[in-house]
């Protein structure tokens, strides 16, 4: 089931993210507005567009979130691979998406200090409260 949903979400994201889908939506709105006088701009006429857009929006939230989750996961995996492959890179940074907001804020402060020349990688290791499990620095083939 998960794989079917993934494929459906991917295909749907491609279709609704196209110029044709946008033009179709604009056309629907124009047609709806043009037939307004035929229905006297009634409550039922308004309810049609409100109900339709609400349903589409509700369903699209789940499809978009699925696509975003997959994109973020694949992007993080690619970055993790680059970190592991670059000599001197701090491989303890692999998996940062698992850190708490406070831990990420502390790490961000560290990088701001590094950027301003207050420290470099060897002077300031990843703080102890951030290191855990696979996030702790480790040496692999002479690399960190």
142 domain residue, yes or no: no
Q: Please give the structure tokens belonging to residue 19.
A: 């110029």
Question: Are 112 and 127 part of one and the same domain?
Answer: yes
Same domain for 77 and 24: yes
Q: How far apart are CA 82 and CA 9, in angstroms?
A: 28
- The whole domain housing 63 covers 2-83
Report pLDDT for 98.
83
Would you state the pLDDT for residue 134? 38
Residue 6 to residues 16, 66, 73, 94, Cα–Cα distance (Å)? 15, 7, 14, 25
Instruction: Please check whether residue 11 is in contact with residue 66, taking contact to mean a CB–CB distance below 8 angstroms.
Output: no
pLDDT at 6: 86
Judgement on whether residues 102 and 70 belong to the same structural domain of the protein: no
Same domain, residue pair 63 and 115: no
Which residue bears the tokens 């339709």? 52
Tokens describing residue 101: 């907001």
Q: Is the pTM of this model over 0.75?
A: no
Return phi, psi of residue 43, to 5°: -65, -35
Evaluate whether 74 touches 89 at the Cβ level (below 8 Å).
no
Asked if residue 67 belongs to a domain, the reply is yes
Is the C-alpha dihedral spanning 98, 100, 105, 110 positive or negative? negative
Same domain, 59 and 109: no
Distance CA 20, CA 18 (A): 5
pLDDT tens over the chain, length 144 residues: 888 988 888 888 889 889 999 999 999 999 999 999 999 999 999 999 999 999 999 999 998 898 899 998 899 889 888 888 888 877 777 878 888 888 888 888 988 888 887 645 455 556 555 554 334 443 344 443
């Amino acid at each position: 089931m998960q794989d079917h949903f993934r494929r459906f979400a991917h295909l749907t994201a491609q279709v609704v993210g196209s110029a044709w889908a946008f033009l179709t939506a604009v056309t629907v709105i124009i047609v709806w507005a043009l037939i307004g006088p035929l229905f006297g701009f009634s409550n039922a006429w308004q309810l049609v567009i409100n109900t339709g857009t609400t349903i589409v929006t509700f369903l699209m939230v789940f499809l978009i979130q699925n696509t975003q989750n997959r994109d973020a996961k694949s992007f993080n995996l690619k970055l993790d691979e680059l970190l592991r492959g670059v000599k001197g890179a701090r491989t303890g940074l692999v998996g940062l998406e698992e850190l708490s907001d406070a831990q990420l804020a502390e790490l961000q402060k560290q990088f701001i200090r590094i950027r301003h020349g207050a420290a470099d990688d060897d002077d300031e290791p990843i703080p102890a409260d951030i290191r855990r499990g696979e996030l702790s620095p480790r040496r692999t083939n002479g690399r960190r």
